[in-house]
Homo-oligomer: A and B are copies of this chain.
């Protein structure tokens, strides 16, 4: 019998179908991995009672649709409601909050047998104030955020897949920092019912897993479309390489690793165009402003009644948002539309954009979750995004590269990301700077 924790979601499904593993085996392996690892990592805000889970798991049977994965445990970010589990959203304002309904995405996954085993740690209200989670590669480093626990739980093989959400950099950054694959869906692709809203214009669901293939498996269920169960790996003809200097301070070792990655792409016959997007250095601030305006609306009541329970960063966010007039908000909307149009046009002459997933590796310390600068521009325009671990820093931390697809170009993006993940030997354990597979 395999230790199923070492397997991808797809492999677990195959084992279940072949009969070499039972749902109960998989649950036992997951719980034992959690028991071994959790005290060092603190990925979970809540883990369901073992007896309850065992009872639940014993009922799972293989059902016929090719998509279903009966009784495979997944992690759900604590800003996403699961009926009957606490959902405290990283804030004492919500201490003891237990929703009675699951988010639509959770309902969809549960129906296909992907069962929440617990709630993963989020930063405060999916913004900046860190939770308790440590980086699995070095517990003195941040795991990134806000989907901190989801990234750490997948990185430590406690679950094959976890859900997160991203408004600024909340999936791509923790996935990159923890050395796993992160995916953010195009804005509007998946239902956000039951997911804590932060900023309407940007909130998007994300999936964290070990492989692009697993991400597609989950995304396919969430799309509720009769797509085939697997996705083709497609080599991109042309990628637009954006070094990120227009958006933030990319660290030297990230710059070096990114350049090496581009060389590898070119060696593999991909046309790599190094470009910058005219005027896009204003995009991070534009994203910040719109996010502040909308967060101020969404958390107006918390701010007015429980301000003391909000962290400094969150209070500043609401204050900044309230200072933006409706007239200014309209002006931001106009510039926003132009940015989206400019972004869409990029795909007339490339298949994907590649860029560092973060400014560097996970920084030392647990007081911040790192810099979101490399994600803001892509979240601004509502793109689909996927980050892949591709190198390691001098101090042994993962570095992530980000592949950006067009709006609603999610399946094309995942095909390209799958090709890239399979073409290069970037899977953990970190192999140092990338090289093509033989």
Contact = CB atoms under 8 A, between A and B. Distances in A.
Given A192-B197, A197-B192, A408 B297 contact: no
Nearest to A410: B326
Interface stretch (A183-191, A242-250, A391-399): A183-191
A13 to B, nearest CB: 20
Given A104-B300, A200-B192, A326-B189, A337 B334 contact: no
Contacts of A191: 197, 297-298, 300
Interface in A81-137: 97, 99-101, 104, 107-108, 111
Interface in A175-217: 188-193, 196-197, 200-201
Nearest to A331: B408
A408 B341 contact: no
9 contacts: A104-B297, A188-B294, A188-B297, A191-B297, A192-B197, A200-B200, A225-B322, A337-B337, A337-B341
Contacts of A297: 104, 188-191, 224
Nearest to A188: B200
Given A188-B200, A329-B408, A408-B326, A104 B301 contact: yes
Contacts of A111: 301, 304-305
Contacts of A333: 407-408
A55 interface: no
A406 B333 CA distance: 12
Given A188-B200, A298-B104, A224 B326 contact: no
A115 to B, nearest CB: 15
Name which of A101, A190, A191, A197 has the most chain B CB atoms within 10 A of its CB: A191
Contacts of A305: 111
Contacts of A196: 193
